Amino acid sequence: MYDVLVVDDEVHIVEGITKMVDWERCGTKCKDQAYHGQMALEMIESERPRIVITDIKMPGLNGLELIEKTYYFFPEVQFIVLSGHDDFAYAKQAMKYGVKHYLLKPCNEQKIEEALRQVVTDLQEKEKVQEYIDQITPKAKEQQVRELLLNSASFDHGLLKTASRNEKFRIICSEIPSKDAHTERRKLKQLMDKQFADSTSFYASAIVSGKVIVVISDCPEQHLQGVIRTSHKEWEVQVESAVISVISQVSRIERLAIEYNKVLEAFSYRFYMNSKSRVILYHELTSAAVTKFDQQQVIWEYENMIEVVRAMDINNVKRAMHKFFHVLSTSKFSDRFILMKCKSLLWSVSFRSNHDEKEELLTTINGIDAIERDVMKVEEYMMEHVMKVVRENSLTKNHLVREIIAYTEQHLQDQSLSLLRVAKEVFFMNPDYLGKVFKREMGMNYTNYLMERRMEMAMEYMNTDRKVFEVAEEVGFGNNPRYFSQIFKRYTGSTPTEYKKEERV
């Protein structure tokens, strides 16, 4: 049985509804009555009914105001509206807060009972959903969330069967600004689970790509922000560490993976978020008014600049940074956008600079109040800091190339080693750009360099007791000694067997 509260400023209407409706047949119980909005709100807070039948026109707190306040603080409560106003504006405003049943007075008991049965059916379905979710083991539930967010889950089985295709959702993506935070992330997930599990019809969470991800049924932003801030405060007391949460709305479940990837983009602005705990609405973070062309151009220049800086390419850093700032200044981006990009650039090089240098630069940038006049000044400060880091890391051979060579030496045995893999999985850079940097420094492309190193290593191993197939495996040819022999002969003029004999002689 679901408890029902009946609200109307006309006593005879409250008494009439209470007596004429067959509550038990509808799966409900008429537990309380209220005669104005404020009285009803106090009863909702103390008694927590699941269903409220209310009039619109009441003195003091009217029906729509009651619905709005309840929606923000007790989103699980379902409303049925009875009104003498055949006005779509009233119905539209009620629907804004999730009301599905808007009945016009005079209204007989059959219509009220029909609405009650529909509400009860909705509540029962939501309870079944939660029951199913509760039965899934935590690890299985997390795995299904990961598959859903990475767009690899089928929509006809598992956790997704519990979600309505027409239902809206929220994604909450939380990050702890700490490098070694695996245990902390697990604690944060448990805390979020505790805060949200009983406040929504659909709830699931997982740790994905170093972030705590929560997927819940849609609920008011104010309520959601309040719950998250409460979690943050409790977290800071327990761990004494900041946490950043980004909230995004999803129109339907099929778009969860798309919205998840958009939310991840928000964390490229982590320096804008600073080091304090914050709750950020994704649509506010990305609402800068720029043209599509301007946005594409600045993104392209920014990515190009980041690649050059990460490569510690001292010959091209100044040029790339100047082009980036030129696009910013001519496209009239907001000061907020420029500061975010500057701080993101600083993040990219901060692992090579000391704490004091980074804090000094952030203080300087945050103090600039007339960004239109000071873009050049910002560029000068950024150039000074970045170039200092680049100069310190550019020795006789390009810093990035040294790292590529070191990685290659450690993985010569790996059959799948390639420039594409090194670029994508190790250095997270464009393979074409990485290849050009390598060739400029080494005078040969990476593929030729890799093959030469493997042949040099193979020739060394030929002086040992290793068999040919063993040498092939140890220099990255896997279980293909025939192909190894062909390449070896091309480089040395002898087959491996012939080479071994020659060395012994």
Is the confidence at residue 114, as pLDDT, over 90?
yes
Q: Does 152 score more than 80 pLDDT?
A: no
In this prediction, residue 397 carries a pLDDT of 46
The whole-number pLDDT of residue 227 equals 86
pLDDT surpasses 50 at 350: yes
Q: What percent of the chain has pLDDT over 90?
A: 20
Average pLDDT over residues 389-409: 74
What residue has token string 């807060």?
97
DSSP H or E run through 208 = strand 203-208
Render the burial of 283-309: b for 16+ CB within 10 Å, e for the rest.
Answer: eebeeeeeeeebeebbeebbebbbbbb
Q: Which CATH architecture has domain 399-504?
A: Orthogonal Bundle (1.10)
Mean per-residue pLDDT over the chain, rounded: 80
**pLDDT by residue (tens digit) across 357-392?**
556 655 655 555 444 445 677 788 788 878 877 776
When the candidates are 3.40.50.1820, 3.40.50.1100, 3.30.70.270, 3.30.2180.10, the CATH number that belongs to 136-285 is: 3.30.70.270
Which residues, other chains included, contact 191 with Cβ-Cβ below 8 Å and sequence gap of 6+? 231, 234, 235, 238
How would residue 158 be classed by pLDDT, with cut points 50, 70 and 90?
low
Predicted confidence at residue 25, as pLDDT, reads 94
In this prediction, residues 151-159 reach a mean pLDDT of 55
Q: What is the pLDDT of residue 254?
A: 73
Mean pLDDT confidence for 182-203: 79
pLDDT in tens, 277-296: 778 777 776 554 456 667 77
Q: Distance of alpha carbon 358 from its chain centroid, rounded? A: 26
Quote the pLDDT of residue 292: 63
CATH 1.20.1640.10 matches 2-129: no
> pTM of the entire structure?
0.42
pLDDT tens digits for range 217-273? 888 888 888 888 888 888 888 887 778 888 888 877 777 888 888 888 767 555 345
